[in-house]
């Protein structure tokens, strides 16, 4: 015997809708909550425009690089981060966009960039850590010489990071850049994580609703929740090296480095409904 | 119908406007110090202690100060501000007057340094009726820092007399010249007080002639018998019945402002205040001529009291001081600000000059400031709807200057590869991105996110056959990048059986370990015919690090015998 519902589903829905409206009206009548918008009525953030990263596999994995968002690529040395960076730069400059590279460790190699197809005319290269200290009087200089000696090593690392943060702030406020890259690739993880979260939030807010892609490469994730897209790359195998290492008899003549085989793993993407989980892709670089 | 007829007649008859700046030497100084406008001001001329009053403003005149008084006589006046006459500032004020009139009509005549006459023919359809043109002329002069009298009449002489005699804006209709000019004193006929003019004035005074209408009413023949042709000419002027052809001048496009300081300036902040004022005046002048500038030359005369060098001698890059001549080597200070695009924003210029002077301070107190702008046609850019984003030139210049102040001038810019095999063969140059040339916006440049990998990949596959470059389709070759160590990392290399075995780095322990694999050596050399010759062997090595394998470029300097890591493959 089937039970007949006393109230139909549609009627329940109507009741809930009416009740919800009444609740909102009651809440908005309270002076303290007058300006508060319920979470259910917040505007949906528009989906960002995506641009090509220059690597087909990365585009297939992430959908491209989101404009108006912070994208972070992390990985250890020789993992292929810089190769992805150059590919993104090449793609952006070929789109006629003006790009900026904030090079904290002054590690950019123009010849690699030229081989990757970067248009230097549209690339602003900022080499941090270059400005000399202000000249002090001899007396004052002697007095603080000892203190400075101990802190010199720390300052050598901190100063470029500070400069990079200031420069990035200026670039983002200036506007009009299609791609702004912060290269933290050689910065120690400890130092990169010391960058205050407020700075990343400020950068994220600065690029929001703009056409700028803010791109960070680092050894380990440091932008935390401010990064809309987090990709971890690792050298899956050194394609040329490993095959020759495995060979029993090493070659007698000079060898060639053919490239790197890079594995990219999507660690976070705000653009997807669910966390990306362990989604990976693999691509190979070539020696230019 | 009557109004239309009047308008037709008005447009057909020829009219001239005259702009006259009373107390011109005072006004020239007030342009640099407008805060003195409400005070009594006297301009002195001559060498101390024989300085005499050359010009005064209205407040000083009311206080009893008049032209020709000695400095000793006027020192008793309280609240009177004394300034030395500045010929460069007067020249700049005259140039401003010319710019002001040139912005209305190309046919202008400089009657005197304080008086300009311009032809109004054909201006009414552009600027409106004659009173409106006169008011606009006075307003523009006021905007440029000069309070003036403007008059409009049917002939240049009448317009000049009316501008000198009546304050404010005066429009004299055709046929009413004698009536309007009649109330002016006869002194207005004599621009400069010469001996001859003094004699004529004395004669008029003896005859009881005080106003122009008295002179105009004299019988022609009797006047001619007594004063000759000069008398007839003066009578014609008083009647407003003269007629002559305008002699137009073509003022040179020189935009220069000068300030001579009473006291030497030591700090940059008050200097910036003065520079801001000069820049506003310069930009207003350029705007009046529908021009912009791409080069600013700042010349500072320092306390020692020598003349600044010729600005045209500067041939350096942006912000690079010109090489001074031997005589002025230690005393001249000059900066040149070159911009990639024509700009006309005084705030941008000021900030750029501030940043430049902060990086390159003059090094001595400043007694004179000279600022010149090189005029160029303004930038006319029509941005396309589908062009990629680009920074605004004004903002970009400021941003670059600010970044240069943080990281150093030689550390920011775009790079240019040099035609050499030498490692690090590149140089930094000024960053000036050109306008994007491709007006087409391809769908590949903007993809909608959240559509899934499959859709995206299909999107990319659609564009394979299009004209988009391979990099935009993600199909270009991914290049193994080399990250350079600047400076190179010195290491010690252990060699076993003729092969590279181990590297040790005292500076960085992460960069040492067993060499798993090595490719090379690749030998190169160059510039051996020069002092900076180089020769090196390169290896690509894989080193087992603490956690992972790292790829380095190992270099041995064959001239110095030193081993170092040039970079890491990443």
What is the largest distance, in Å, between two alpha-carbon atoms of chain B? 127
Answer whether B478 sits within 8 Å of A63, measured CB to CB: no
Rounded to a whole number of angstroms, the distance between the first and last alpha carbons of chain B is 86
What are the domain boundaries of chain B? 13-239, 256-307+330-381+390-434, 482-569
Hey, is the C-beta of A119 within 8 angstroms of any chain B C-beta? no
Helix (H, G, I), strand (E, B) or coil at A230: strand
For residue A35, how far is the Cα from the chain centroid? 35
Hey, is the C-beta of A277 within 8 angstroms of any chain B C-beta? no
Cα angle for residues B251, B280, B272 (degrees, 5° grid): 125
A residues 12-41 near B, CB within 8 Å? none
What is chain A's mean pLDDT, rounded? Answer: 79
Answer whether B479 sits within 8 Å of A81, measured CB to CB: no
Answer whether B392 sits within 8 Å of A176, measured CB to CB: yes
Q: Which residues of B touch A126 (CB under 8 A)?
A: 403, 407, 411-412
Answer whether A56 sits within 8 Å of B434, measured CB to CB: no
Answer whether A87 sits within 8 Å of B476, measured CB to CB: yes
Of A82, A121, A245, the CB nearest to B481: A82
Give CA–CA dist B536/B555, Å, rounded: 7
Answer whether A124 sits within 8 Å of B456, measured CB to CB: no
Give the contacts of A62 (CB within 8 A, at least 6 positions apart): A53, A229, A231, A266, A269
Task: For residue B520, give how far its alpha carbon lies from the nearest alpha carbon of chain A (Å).
Answer: 5
pLDDT band at A133 (very low <50, low <70, confident <90, very high): very low
Q: How many CB pairs under 8 A join A and B?
A: 289
Answer whether B476 sits within 8 Å of A116, measured CB to CB: yes
Give CA–CA dist B359/B409, Å, rounded: 9
Q: Which residues of A touch B486 (CB under 8 A)?
A: 105-107
For domain B256-307+330-381+390-434, the CATH architecture is: 2-Layer Sandwich (3.30)
State residue B380's pLDDT score.
78
* Res A276 pLDDT > 90: no
Pair B530, B422: CB distance under 8 Å: no
Answer whether A56 sits within 8 Å of B473, measured CB to CB: yes
Q: Chain B residue with minimal CA distance to A247? A: B517
Cα angle for residues B157, B162, B164 (degrees, 5° grid): 95
Length of chain A as a residue count: 288
CB atoms within 10 A of CB B207: 13
pLDDT band at A173 (very low <50, low <70, confident <90, very high): very high
For residue B476, how far is the Cα from the chain centroid? 46
Answer whether A257 sits within 8 Å of B519, measured CB to CB: yes
Whether this model's ipTM surpasses 0.95 comes out as: no
Answer whether B433 sits within 8 Å of A98, measured CB to CB: yes
**CA dihedral of A170, A171, A173, A174, whole degrees rounded to 10:** 110
Question: Tens digit of pLDDT for each residue in A201-245?
Answer: 999 999 988 999 999 999 999 988 899 999 998 876 665 555 555
Give CA–CA dist B91/B138, Å, rounded: 20
State residue A285's pLDDT score.
78
For domain B13-239, the CATH architecture is: 2-Layer Sandwich (3.30)
Give CA–CA dist B372/B167, Å, rounded: 33
What the block records as the tokens of A61 is 């994995």
Q: DSSP of B173-187, one letter per residue?
A: -TT-HHHHHTTSBGG
Hey, is the C-beta of B481 within 8 angstroms of any chain A C-beta? yes
State residue B328's pLDDT score.
46
The residue among A24 and A89 whose pLDDT is bigger is A89
Hey, is the C-beta of B393 within 8 angstroms of any chain A C-beta? no
Q: DSSP of B21-45, one letter per residue?
A: -TTHHHHHHHHH-GGGTTSEEEEEE
Answer whether B389 sits within 8 Å of A238, measured CB to CB: no
Q: Which residues of A touch B400 (CB under 8 A)?
A: 124
Give the contacts of A231 (CB within 8 A, at least 6 positions apart): A58, A61, A62, A71, A72, A73, A74, A84, A264, A265, A266, A267
Q: What does R_g of chain A's alpha carbons equal in angstroms?
A: 26
Give CA–CA dist A127/A102, Å, rounded: 7
- Ranking A93-102, A246-255, B234-243, B524-533 by mean pLDDT, the lowest is A246-255
What the block records as the tokens of B551 is 């790829």
Answer whether A286 sits within 8 Å of B474, measured CB to CB: no
pLDDT band at A122 (very low <50, low <70, confident <90, very high): very high
Answer whether A77 sits within 8 Å of B550, measured CB to CB: yes
Hey, is the C-beta of A106 within 8 angstroms of any chain B C-beta? yes
Answer whether A56 sits within 8 Å of B389, measured CB to CB: no
Give CA–CA dist B111/B513, Å, rounded: 87
Answer whether B519 sits within 8 Å of A256, measured CB to CB: yes
Cα angle for residues A30, A35, A41 (degrees, 5° grid): 105
The residue among A137 and A74 whose pLDDT is bigger is A74
What the block records as the tokens of B142 is 């006021």
Q: Which residues of B touch A286 (CB under 8 A)?
A: 477-480
CA-to-CA dists, residue B533 to B527, B528, B530, B560, angstroms: 4, 4, 6, 11
Hey, is the C-beta of A264 within 8 angstroms of any chain B C-beta? no
Q: Which residues of A touch B456 (CB under 8 A)?
A: 50, 59-60, 63-64
Give CA–CA dist A49/A64, Å, rounded: 9
Answer whether B414 sits within 8 Å of A77, measured CB to CB: no
Sign, CA dihedral B203-B208-B213-B215, equals negative
A residues 42-81 near B, CB within 8 Å? 47-61, 63-64, 66-67, 76-81
Give CA–CA dist A124/B404, Å, rounded: 12
Question: Tens digit of pLDDT for each residue in B408-457?
Answer: 888 999 999 998 888 888 999 999 888 766 544 444 444 444 443 333 33
State residue B168's pLDDT score.
92
Task: For residue A8, give how far its alpha carbon lies from the nearest alpha carbon of chain B (Å).
Answer: 37
Edge to edge, what strands does the sheet with B255-265 contain?
Answer: B255-265, B366-376, B292-302, B332-343
Pair B391, B402: CB distance under 8 Å: no
3-state secondary structure B243-278: CCCCCCCCCCCCEEEEEEEEEEECCHHHHHHHHHHH
Hey, is the C-beta of B273 within 8 angstroms of any chain A C-beta? no
Pair B399, A111: CB distance under 8 Å: no
In degrees and rounded to multiples of 5, residue B376 shows phi and psi of -140, 165
Question: Tens digit of pLDDT for each residue in A182-202?
Answer: 999 988 888 898 999 999 999
The tokens 């019945």 sit on which residue?
Answer: B241
Answer whether B567 sits within 8 Å of A109, measured CB to CB: yes
State residue A11's pLDDT score.
62
* Res A3 pLDDT > 70: no
Task: For residue B334, give how far its alpha carbon lies from the nearest alpha carbon of chain A (Å).
Answer: 23
Hey, is the C-beta of A175 within 8 angstroms of any chain B C-beta? yes
Hey, is the C-beta of B459 within 8 angstroms of any chain A C-beta? no
Question: Tens digit of pLDDT for each residue in B35-57?
Answer: 888 999 999 998 888 889 999 99
Task: For residue A28, give how far its alpha carbon lies from the nearest alpha carbon of chain B (Å).
Answer: 34
What the block records as the tokens of B468 is 């988009």
pLDDT tens by residue, chain B, 570 residues: 444 434 434 444 789 999 999 999 999 999 888 888 899 999 999 888 888 999 999 889 988 898 889 988 888 888 889 999 989 899 999 999 999 999 999 999 999 899 999 999 989 888 999 999 999 999 999 998 899 999 999 999 999 999 999 999 999 998 888 888 999 998 888 877 778 888 888 899 899 999 999 999 999 898 888 888 888 999 999 998 888 888 988 888 889 998 888 888 888 889 999 999 999 999 999 998 899 999 999 999 888 754 444 444 443 344 444 444 444 444 778 999 988 889 999 999 999 999 999 888 888 889 899 999 999 998 877 777 777 778 888 889 999 999 999 998 889 999 999 988 888 889 999 998 887 665 444 444 444 444 433 333 333 333 334 455 655 555 667 888 899 998 899 999 998 888 888 999 887 888 888 888 888 788 999 888 888 889 999 998 888 877 778 889 999 999 988 999 999 988
Question: Tens digit of pLDDT for each residue in B161-196?
Answer: 999 999 999 999 988 888 889 999 988 888 777 788
Length of chain B as a residue count: 570
Q: Chain B residue with minimal CA distance to A270? A: B450
Of A51, A234, A285, the CB nearest to B479: A285
Task: For residue A31, give how far its alpha carbon lies from the nearest alpha carbon of chain B (Å).
Answer: 39
pLDDT band at A269 (very low <50, low <70, confident <90, very high): confident
Give CA–CA dist B404/A54, Å, rounded: 30
Hey, is the C-beta of B508 within 8 angstroms of any chain A C-beta? no
The residue among A151 and B567 whose pLDDT is bigger is B567
CA-to-CA dists, residue B157 to A52, A87, B50, B168, angstroms: 72, 74, 37, 18
Which one of 3.40.50.300, 3.30.70.20, 2.40.50.40, 3.40.50.720 gives the CATH number of domain A50-134+146-230?
A: 3.40.50.300
State residue B325's pLDDT score.
45
Answer whether B403 sits within 8 Å of A109, measured CB to CB: no
What are the domain boundaries of chain A? 50-134+146-230
Pair B555, B563: CB distance under 8 Å: yes
Hey, is the C-beta of B493 within 8 angstroms of any chain A C-beta? no
b/e per residue B539-552 (b: at least 16 CB within 10 A): bbbbbebeeebbbb
Helix (H, G, I), strand (E, B) or coil at A118: coil
Tell how strand A227-237 and strand A261-269 pair up.
Answer: antiparallel
What the block records as the tokens of A208 is 């929001």
Q: Which residues of B touch A65 (CB under 8 A)?
A: none
- For the purposes of burial, counting CB atoms within 10 Å of the CB of B109, is it exposed (0-12), middle (13-18) or buried (19 or more)? buried
Give CA–CA dist B429/A263, Å, rounded: 36
């Amino acid at each position: 015997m089937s039970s007949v519902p006393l109230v139909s589903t549609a009627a329940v829905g109507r009741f809930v809708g009416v009740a919800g409206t009444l609740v909102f009206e009651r809440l908005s009548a309270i002076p303290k909550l007058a300006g508060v918008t319920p979470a259910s009525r917040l505007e949906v953030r528009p989906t960002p425009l995506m641009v090509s990263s220059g690597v087909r596999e990365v585009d297939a994995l992430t959908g491209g690089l989101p404009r108006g968002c912070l994208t972070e690529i992390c990985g250890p040395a020789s993992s292929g981060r810089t190769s992805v960076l150059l590919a993104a730069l090449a793609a952006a400059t070929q789109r006629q966009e003006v790009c900026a590279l904030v090079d904290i460790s002054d590690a950019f190699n123009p010849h690699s960039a030229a081989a990757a197809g970067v248009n230097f005319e549209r690339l602003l290269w900022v080499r941090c850590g270059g400005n000399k200290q202000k000249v002090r009087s001899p007396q004052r200089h002697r007095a603080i010489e000892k203190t400075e000696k101990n802190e010199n090593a720390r300052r050598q690392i901190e100063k470029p990071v500070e400069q990079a943060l200031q420069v990035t702030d200026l670039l983002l406020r200036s506007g009009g850049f299609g791609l702004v890259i912060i290269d933290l690739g050689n910065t120690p993880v400890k130092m990169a994580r010391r960058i205050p979260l407020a700075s990343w939030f400020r950068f994220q807010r600065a690029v929001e609703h703009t056409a700028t892609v803010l791109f960070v490469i680092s050894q380990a994730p440091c932008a935390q929740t401010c990064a809309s897209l987090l990709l971890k790359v690792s050298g899956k195998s050194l394609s040329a090296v490993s095959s020759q290492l495995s060979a029993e008899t090493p070659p007698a003549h000079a060898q060639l480095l053919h490239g790197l085989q890079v594995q990219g793993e999507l660690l976070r993407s705000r653009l997807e409904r669910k966390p990306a989980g362990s989604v990976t892709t693999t691509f190979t670089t070539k020696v230019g | 119908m009557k109004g239309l007829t009047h308008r037709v007649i008005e447009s057909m008859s020829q009219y001239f406007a005259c702009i006259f700046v009373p107390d011109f030497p005072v006004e020239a100084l007030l342009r640099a110090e407008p805060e003195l406008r409400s005070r009594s001001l006297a301009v002195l001329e001559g060498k101390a202690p024989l300085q005499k009053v050359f010009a005064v403003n209205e407040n000083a005149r009311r206080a009893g100060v008049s032209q020709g008084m000695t400095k000793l006589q006027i020192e008793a006046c309280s609240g009177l501000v004394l300034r030395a006459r500045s010929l460069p500032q007067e020249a700049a004020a005259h140039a401003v007057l010319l710019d002001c009139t040139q912005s209305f009509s190309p046919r202008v005549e400089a009657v005197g340094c304080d008086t300009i006459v311009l032809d109004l023919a054909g201006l009414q359809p552009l600027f409106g009726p004659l009173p409106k043109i006169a008011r606009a002329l006075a307003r523009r002069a006021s905007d440029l820092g000069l309070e003036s009298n403007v008059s409009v009449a049917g002939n240049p002489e009448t317009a000049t007399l009316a501008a000198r005699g009546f304050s404010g804006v005066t429009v004299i209709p055709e046929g009413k010249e004698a009536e309007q000019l009649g109330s002016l004193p006869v002194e207005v006929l004599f621009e400069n007080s010469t001996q001859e003019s003094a004699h004529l004035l004395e004669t008029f005074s003896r005859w009881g002639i005080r106003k122009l209408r008295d002179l105009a009413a004299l019988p022609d023949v009797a006047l001619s018998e007594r004063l000759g042709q000069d008398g007839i000419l003066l009578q014609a002027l008083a009647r407003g019945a003269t007629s002559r052809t305008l002699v137009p001048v073509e003022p040179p496009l020189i935009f220069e402002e000068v300030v001579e300081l009473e006291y030497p300036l030591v700090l940059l902040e008050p200097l910036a205040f003065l520079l801001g004022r000069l820049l506003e005046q310069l930009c207003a002048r350029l705007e009046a001529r529908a021009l912009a500038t791409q080069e600013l030359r700042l010349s500072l005369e320092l306390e020692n009291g020598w003349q600044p060098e010729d600005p045209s001698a500067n041939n350096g890059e942006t912000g690079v001081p010109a090489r001074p001549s031997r005589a002025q080597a230690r005393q001249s200070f000059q900066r040149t600000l070159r911009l990639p695009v024509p700009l006309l924003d005084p705030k941008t210029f000021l900030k750029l000059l501030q940043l430049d002077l902060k990086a390159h301070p003059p090094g001595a107190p400043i007694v004179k400031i000279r600022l010149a702008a090189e005029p160029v046609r303004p930038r006319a850019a029509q941005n396309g709807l589908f062009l990629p984003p680009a920074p605004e030139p004004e903002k970009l210049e400021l941003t670059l200057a600010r970044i240069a102040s943080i990281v150093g001038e030689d550390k920011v810019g775009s790079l240019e590869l040099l035609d050499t095999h030498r490692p690090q063969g590149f140089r930094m140059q000024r960053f000036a991105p050109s306008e994007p040339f491709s007006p087409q916006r391809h769908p590949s440049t903007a993809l909608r996110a959240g559509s899934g990998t499959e859709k995206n990949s299909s999107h990319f596959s659609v564009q394979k056959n299009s004209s988009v470059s391979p990099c935009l389709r993600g199909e270009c070759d991914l290049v193994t990048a080399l990250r350079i160590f600047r400076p190179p990392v010195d290491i010690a290399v252990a060699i076993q059986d003729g092969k590279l075995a181990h590297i040790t780095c005292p500076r960085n322990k992460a960069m040492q370990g067993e060499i798993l694999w090595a490719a090379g050596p690749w030998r190169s050399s160059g510039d051996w015919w020069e002092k900076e010759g180089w020769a090196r062997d390169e290896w690509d090595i894989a080193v087992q690090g603490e956690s992972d394998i790292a790829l380095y470029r190992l270099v041995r300097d064959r001239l110095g015998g030193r081993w170092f890591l040039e970079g890491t493959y990443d």
